[in-house]
Amino acid sequence: MNVLRQSLVDYLAVRRALGYRLVRAEKLLKQFLAFVEDRGEQHLTVETAIAWATAPAGSGPSWMSIRLSCVRQFAIHLRGTDPATQVPPADILPDRPHRATPYLFSTDEIAALMTATATLRGSHRTATYRTLIGLLATTGLRIGEAIGLDRDDFDAMNGVLRIRNGKFGKSRELPLHSSTVAAIDHYLRRVDRPRLPSNGSALFLSPAGTRLLYVNAQNTFQRLVRHCGIMPRSAACRPRPHDLRHSFAVNTILDAYRNGNDPGTRLAILSTYLGHINPAQTYWYLSASPELLKLAGITEARR
């Protein structure tokens, strides 16, 4: 292993110890180092970084910015041990990230998505996606957290779901509504659940008995969205599985306002439940709801 490759291993280890996963960054940086090696270079240069980040021709500005940003972070780390390393300036290929506008699902739309799972091939696949969508809608889980669940993470006796190694390495336990506990328990006891050697420990299984793949879950969800006729509200507001998380967050705070509870206290609890590092992240989830903003304004005006 050459010096640059070993430095990448060290860099990833340090960042992951801080809680970052860096799955995409690792893939991109390995591609970048292969590019550097093909050019016969021993040190990172701004010229080579830009040449790699802007390839292939026709790439969008966001993608080029992401690629160069990965190199920049690595170069900052590398410069501590290799003074010959050149760090690309932050003003080269800048692009402000454009965060998608949350699509807030109505109760009827969520029910329609769950009903639409009947159009999927195979009774087990239908049950898997019906249960998965229901779980996302009632807990606000990230879809990656949901498909990463093992059977042992579900405690039916105490009505608790354990999330291991969530975003930034955080783990948490979620109390579940009795109806959610019953739905998951029923799913796990189905006679059509695959019993293959590859079954492993996953809670949600594909028809082949393997853990669900993120890309397949995303594609199936979009198929159900199209079947239900759920349309984007704008180019930046398209229904995604992650928007079930936004919808859960908004409905949780709306419920506090409607029932006369303290929304501030509910927000602090919600932030912990969602696995956010601080409540500021949760505030952003709530900003897309006109009804919620209106209620917040009315409450503030009455004080």
Q: Which of 77, 242, 246, 266 is catalytic?
A: 242
Beta-bridge mates of residue 237: 234
In contact, 87 and 72? CB cutoff 8 Å: yes
- pLDDT bucket at 70, cuts 50 / 70 / 90: very high
Q: Which of 167, 170, 172, 193 is catalytic?
A: 167
Q: pLDDT tens across 210-240, in order? A: 999 999 999 999 999 999 999 998 877 889 9
At a CB cut-off of 8 Å and minimum separation 6, what does 100 contact?
Answer: 236, 237, 238, 240
pTM over the 0.75 mark: no
The structural domains of the chain, with segments of one domain joined by +, span 3-79, 101-303
- pLDDT bucket at 114, cuts 50 / 70 / 90: very high
The superfamily in CATH containing domain 101-303 is Intergrase catalytic core (1.10.443.10)
Q: Percentage of the chain with pLDDT > 70? A: 85
Q: pLDDT tens across 264-273, in order? A: 777 778 888 8
Q: What are phi and psi of 24, to 5 degrees?
A: -70, -40
| pLDDT above 70 for 99 | no
* Annotated catalytic residue 167: yes
* Annotated catalytic residue 124: no
- pLDDT bucket at 98, cuts 50 / 70 / 90: low
* Annotated catalytic residue 276: yes
Q: Which of 11, 129, 187, 285 is catalytic?
A: 285
Mind giving me the DSSP string for 106-166? Answer: -HHHHHHHHHHGGGSSSHHHHHHHHHHHHHHHHH---HHHHHT-BGGGEETTTTEEEE-S-
* Annotated catalytic residue 242: yes
Q: What is the mean pLDDT of the chain?
A: 86
The single residue listed with the structure tokens 């009455």 is: 302
pLDDT at 234: 83
* Annotated catalytic residue 266: no
CB atoms within 10 A of CB 191: 7
Q: Which of 77, 130, 211, 245 is catalytic?
A: 245
> Greatest CA separation found in the chain?
69
Q: pLDDT tens across 152-179, in order? A: 999 999 999 999 866 656 788 999 999 9
* Annotated catalytic residue 125: no
Alpha-carbon gap, residue 76 to 72, rounded angstroms:
6
pLDDT at 300: 44
Residue type, 234: S
